[in-house]
Amino acid sequence: MSQLSDFHRERVRAVLASSPLIPVIAINDPDDAVPLCQALVDGGINVLEITLRTEHGVKAIEQVRKAIPDAWVGAGTVTSIAQYRQVEAAGAQFVITPGVTEAILEFGLTSEVPLLPGISTISELMLGYNLGYREFKFFPAEVAGGIPALKAFSGPFPDVTFCPTGGIRRDTAKDYLAQGNVQSVGGSWLTPADAIASKDWAKITEIARGSLGDL
């Protein structure tokens, strides 16, 4: 059975170590992609998860990679190998899935773009673990058990690190990050829809900077 390479693990660890907060970004207007991401970077966040929740995600990854080369730019909400290939071609530096399939886990072993697989149960974790994955997205974190679940995971899997996402708020991020098996947390509070709709990029920067300051 193939195993995850050291290169992939090092890349994923580098991404998670680069920012304790990872914004979940959905692009509804292609013109928003670069200024929104620049506002987050200006606020101190240099890991950007651009999701495929809208039709503009792949193009946005390509745009932001070119415009903000010093940031880590990755793809979120990747649910198929076809999408994985699309974001590879767009220049994504990492891929995050909401859940796992054996096919995606195996594809991630050979892709040049490292995978952070999404899991919500021990059984899903074990699928990835057996292939060498040791870093996972925990989603949807609050619904799937939150901090108590992460504490329970640490018993049988003390060498696994998580990026919890889903239902985490600015005022709870610090509690998640206090867990020994949590490297970073993801959240949509960093990109509120009203601020994006009004193109209030200064507010986005303020939220990013303030959220980091709360930690």
What residues are annotated to the active site? Answer: 49, 137
- The CA-CA-CA angle for residues 18, 78, 105, to 5°, reads 85
- 203 alpha carbon, distance to own chain's centre: 22
Q: Quick one: the chain helix, strand, coil %, rounded to 5?
A: 45, 15, 40
Measuring CA to CA, how many Å separate 49 from each of 33, 130, 213? 12, 26, 20
Coil, helix or strand for 140? coil
Please state whether 210 falls in left (phi above 0), alpha (psi between -120 and 50) or beta. Answer: alpha
